[in-house]
Structure 1
Amino acid sequence: MKITIVGGGPGGLYLSILMKRQDPSHEVTVYERNPAGATYGWGVTYWAGLLDKLRAGDPESADAIVAASVTWTDGVAIVRDQRTVHRGDAGFGIGRRRMLALLADRARELGVRVAYEHPVSGPDAPELAGSDLVVAADGVNSALREAHSDRFGAEVTSGRNHYVWLGTTKVFDSFSFAFKETAHGWIWCYAYGFSGEQSTCVVECGPDAWTGLGLDRMNEADSLRLLEKLFADLLDGEPLIGRGEQAGTAAPAQWLTFRTLTNRTWHHGNLVLLGDAAHTTHYSIGAGTTLALEDALALAAALRDPSTPLDAALTAYGRRRRSELVSAQSAARYSARWYENLPRYMRLEPARMFALLGQRHSPLLPHIPPQLYYRLDRTAERLEALRRLKRWLGPRLARAAHRP
C-alpha cells in the first residue's frame, strides 16, 4: 500500500512505525507542516497500562520512550496554603518534543519518509495523489476533515473555563495541584515533571477570575509574573515559561477554552481520521496522547489482513474506537464539569476535597452533596453491598444525564 499520513504527532508517527513493521513493502510518508523539533505543549503523561500495548506494537520505540520518561506515584495538593498528599498509581511524563524525536527516528529507521515543513493544503493536494490510504492525523483543526465535514459529522462543544499551557524549571517529583482563592474566584494549576530539567504547568480558572485578574488583557510576560506570585509556594521561586519565552519572542498569552470534538463517522473513502482529528478529551484526564497511540494500534490491527477490503477495515476501526472511547469521553466530561463547578467542593477540608478530586469522573458525584458523597465513598470501601450499589447507579445516572 501507498500510505500518506498528514500530521507528525505521536499518533501519526506511531502508525507509520506499525504499518512498516506489518509489511516493510508499504510505502509510508508522514507530512508535518512544522519544522522538526517545533511542537506545542511541554510534557505529556501516560500510565503503565499503555506500556504493555506499546511493547506489543513495537518494543524498540516503547523501550526508548520509557528510558526517556520520568515517573511519580504521589499526588500533592496545595489548597489555599495547606498541603496534602495522596498515594496513587505510577504515572509517567515525557517531553513531547523528545517523544516525537524518538518516534521519528524509529520511523526513519524502518524506512518511513518523514517530511517536515511540508503542509498539505487539502484532499486535492498533489502529495496525496495515488495514495491507497490517507490518514488525517492533523489535529483538532484538521483541514482534511473539514474539507468533508458533512461526511464526518463533526460536533464541537466549548468549555467554560480558560486555561494556558506553561513550562517551568521547577522539577516536580509528584503530580501536583495548587488551588488559590482570589477576590475574583478560584484559579488553579496542574503540574508534573517530564524531564530532569523542566515540568509542565497547566493553569485554569473560570471566566470571572480570568477577567477579574486581568488575564484577558495581559501580555504573556505580565501574566507569567502574576501567576508566579499566585503559585509561589508551588514553584519554590522557579519561573514559569510561556510559548513566547520558549521561542525567544514577544507573544500574547495563549489562553484557550477547551473544545471537545466528536465525529459521527471516522472515514470517507480512503481518508481516515486519527487522534485529535477524530476526537478530543479534556486535558484534565491526561489521556490525549494515549488515545492517539491507541488509535494507531487499532487502525494498524484493522489493516493487518490484506484480504480485508479497505472500506470494511476502516469501518471496523471506527466502530471499535468509538466504542472504546465511550468510557474515556464520559470521564473527561465529568472531570471538566468538576472543575467548572469547583466552588462546590472547596468548602470541604483539603484532604476531603483532594479525595473527591480523585473521584471527579464519577457520574454520581454531581448528584450527591460533596460531604455525603465523601462519607458514602469511605463507607463503600468497607461494604461490598454499597460498592455494588455505586457501580449499579453510576451508569444509569450517566445515561440519564445524556438522554435527549
Structure 2
Amino acid sequence: MCVKVVCVGGGPAGLYLAILLKRQNPAHDITVHERDPEGSTYGWGVTYWRGLLDRLHGHDPESARAIEESSVRWNQGVAHVRDQVTRQPGDEGHGIGRHRLLEILAERARSLGVRLEFESEVTAADLPGADLVVAADGVHSALRTHHAGHFGTQLEEGRNRYLWLGTTKVFDAFTFAFVETGHGWIWCYGYAYSGEGSTCVMECSPETLTGLGLDRADEGEGLALLEKLFASILDGHPLIGGRGAPWPAFRTLTNRTWHRDNLVLLGDAAHTTHYSIGAGTTLALEDAMCLATALREHATLPAALAAYERQRSSELLSAQSAARYSAQWYENLPRYIHLPPHRMFALLGQRHSPLLPYVPPQLYYGIDKAAGQLEVLRRLKRWLGPRAARALHARSTAHRS
C-alpha cells in the first residue's frame, strides 16, 4: 500500500525517515518541508560511534558509505586539567560536519524521489493533507507545541550554561579541557568533524559565566576571552561563533505520548538528551529506523505508531538516564576536579553511573579499579576453564592407562 507522507523538518531524522520509506516502497509520496534555506544549519559537527554506523549500513548501505567516507575517527580521549595532561585509549568515535551529513542525506533522498521543499514553513494551521504527518521540527516543534496538552510535553532546564562553537584546530582525540579562573571552572569538549575543523562546546556554571563577564560580552569579546583561556589546546587557532542565543541552559524535553491521530513526533521534537553524551543525532536516526520498520510491519497506522512509541520509549530509558547523570557530573565538577588527573579522567568516564554521586570519589575510583581487575580475572578464569578441564582429563586418562 502506498501512502502520502509529509515530514516537517529537514534535519537528519526527517531526511533519513524519508529515505527509508522510499526504499521500502518507491510508490510512497513523500515530501520534506524545511523552513530554512538549503545548506543553512546550526552547529559544526556531530559525533557518533561504530554501533550507529553498523545500523546505518544495515538500513541503507549507500548513504552509510557516504557518511563513513566523510567522517573522521579517533580512538583516544585526552583531558587537560590546569597544566597537566592525561591521555587514555577508548572506543572508536566518529565525527562528521553537520552540513556534510545533511548534504549526503538530502542528495540520497532526492535520488530516491523524495521532494524536498526548502524555505517552506508548515504550521498546525496549514498542514498539507497526508496519510502521515511527521513532526521532525526540533525541540521548538510548532506542531508539538500546538498540541502540547495532548503530548504531555515537559521541559526541565539544567543549571550550567553552554556555548556551541567551532575552531580550525583539528583535534586528534576527543578532547576535554578544564580551566580554573578566579570565578570558578570553565571547560570545553572538543572533537574533529573533518580535516579542516572541530567542534568546541564550552560549559560553565552561571556564577562563572557572570563572574567572567561572558554574559555581557559581545561575540567578539567573548570569543577573544575564550581563546585566551583555552590557548593551550587551540595552538593559536581561532574559535568561530555560531547563531543562537548566547550561553543558554540545556533543556531536557520529554513527552507523555509521541503521536496524535496521524501526527507523530520524531527526534528532538520527541525527546532531547544532554549534549555531554553525544547521542542526539544517533537517537534521532534510530527513531527514523524504528518508525520506518513499524510502518512496514504493521497493517494499520495506529498500530504502527503505537509500536514505534512503545519501542523507542523503552530503548531511550538508558540513554536518558546516562544523560541525566552526565549533566549532573559536570554540575558538580568541584567534587571531582581536584583528584589526580588520571583519576578524575577515570571518573569522567564513569559519569553515567547512578552510584557515583553518592560514593566519595576516591572510594569510587578504588572500587571501580578493583572491579575492573576482578573482571579481568573472571575473563581469565572463563578462558582457562575449558583448557584446565581438558588438561586434567588428559592427565587422568594417562594415569589410568
Alignment of 1:333-352 (within 5 A): 333-352=324-343
Contact 2:184 2:208 in 1 (8 A): yes
Residue 65, structure 1, aligned to residue 67, structure 2 = yes
Distance 1:59 1:273 in 2: 25
Separation in structure 1 between the aligned mates of residue 173 and residue 134 of structure 2, nearest angstrom: 36
Q: Which residue is 1:375 aligned to? A: 366
Is residue 166 of structure 2 the alignment partner of residue 167 of structure 1? yes
Distance 1:112 1:220 in 2: 39
Distance 1:141 1:133 in 2: 20
The total of aligned residue pairs comes to 376
Taking structure 1 as reference, are residues 129 and 253 closer, same or farther at Cα in structure 2, changes over 3 Å only?
closer
Q: Distance in 2 between matches of 1:79 and 1:384?
A: 29
Q: Which residue of 1 aligns with 2:390?
A: none
Aligned to 1:89: 91
Which of 315, 319, 336 is the aligned partner of 1:324? 315
The one-letter code matched in structure 1 to 2:137 is: D
1:257-293 superposed Cα distances (whole Å, 9 cap, x missing partner):
1000000000000000000000000000000000000
Q: How much has 1:165 moved relative to structure 2?
A: 0.3
Corresponding position of 1:144: 143
Equivalent residues in 2 for 1:230-249, closer than 5 Å: 230-243=229-242
Aligned twin of 1:295 = 287
Alignment partner of 1:354 is 2:345: yes
Structure 1 Cα separation of the partners of residues 137 and 174 of structure 2? 29
SS in 2 for 1:176: strand
The amino acid that maps onto 2:364 is Y
Does the 8 Å contact 1:242/1:253 carry over to 2? no
Whether contact under 8 Å (1:219, 1:253) holds in the other structure is no
Residue 33 in structure 1 maps to residue 35 in structure 2: yes
Residues in 1 aligned to 2:288 and 2:271: alpha-carbon distance in whole angstroms: 13
Aligned-residue offset at 1:385:
12
The answer to whether the 8 A contact 1:6-1:134 is kept is: yes
- In 2, distance between residues paired with 1:233 and 1:218? 22
Which residue identity lines up with residue 322 of structure 2 in the other structure?
Answer: A
* 2:273 maps to which of 281, 293, 316: 281
Which residue of the partner structure matches residue 125 of structure 2? 124
Pick from 105, 108, 111: which aligns with 2:110? 108
**1:163-208, Cα deviation, whole Å (9 max, x unpaired):** 0000000011110010001111000000000011110000000011
**Structure 1 contact 263–278 (Cα < 8 Å) conserved:** yes
Query: How much has 1:233 moved relative to structure 2?
Result: 0.3
Structure 1 residue 308 displacement after superposition: 1.5
Alignment check: 8 A CA contact 1:223 1:253 kept: no
Alpha-carbon shift at residue 384 of structure 1 (Å): 4.8
Runs of 4+ in 1 over 3 A off after TM superposition: 384-387
Instruction: Note if 1:99 corresponds to 2:101.
Output: yes
Query: Is the Cα contact below 8 Å between 2:79 and 2:176 reproduced in 1?
Result: yes
Residue pair 2:79, 2:345 contacting (<8 A) in 1 also: yes
TM-score by length of 2: 0.92
Corresponding residue of 1:180: 179
* Contact 2:177–2:187 (Cα < 8 Å) also in 1: yes
Q: Distance in 2 between matches of 1:304 and 1:294?
A: 15
Q: Secondary structure of 2:373's partner?
A: coil
Provide the C-alpha distance between the structure 1 equivalents of 2:185 and 2:264, rounded to a whole number of angstroms: 41
**CA root-mean-square deviation:** 1.3
Partner of 1:398: none
2:6, 2:128 within 8 Å by CA — same for their partners in 1? no
Could you tell me how far apart the structure 2 residues matched to 1:352 and 1:212 are? 29
Consecutive unaligned residues in structure 2, runs of 5 or more: 379-401
C-alpha distance after superposition, 1:223-271 (max 9, x if no partner): 0000000000010110000016xxxxxxx87211100000000000000
TM-score normalised according to structure 1 size: 0.91
Question: Match for 1:204: what amino acid?
Answer: E
Which letter maps to 1:327? S
Report what 1:399 is aligned to: none
Q: Give the 3-state SS of the residue equivalent to 2:351 in structure 1.
A: coil
1:55 equivalent to 2:47? Answer no
Cα distance in 2 for residues equivalent to 1:385 and 1:8: 46
Question: Which residue number in structure 2 is paired with residue 154 of structure 1?
Answer: 153
**Structure 1: 5+ residue runs without aligned partners?**
245-251, 388-404
**Alpha-carbon distance between aligned partners in 2 of 1:147 and 1:364, rounded to the nearest angstrom:** 39
Quote the residue 1:270 is aligned against.
Answer: 262
Deviates further, 263-272 or 378-387: 378-387
Please state if 1:214 is matched with 2:213.
Answer: yes
Change (3 A) 1:347 1:94: same
Q: Give me the whole-angstrom Cα distance separating, in 1, the residues matched to 2:237 and 2:94.
A: 22
2: CA distance, partners of 1:377 / 1:103: 42
Q: Which amino acid aligns with 1:343?
A: P
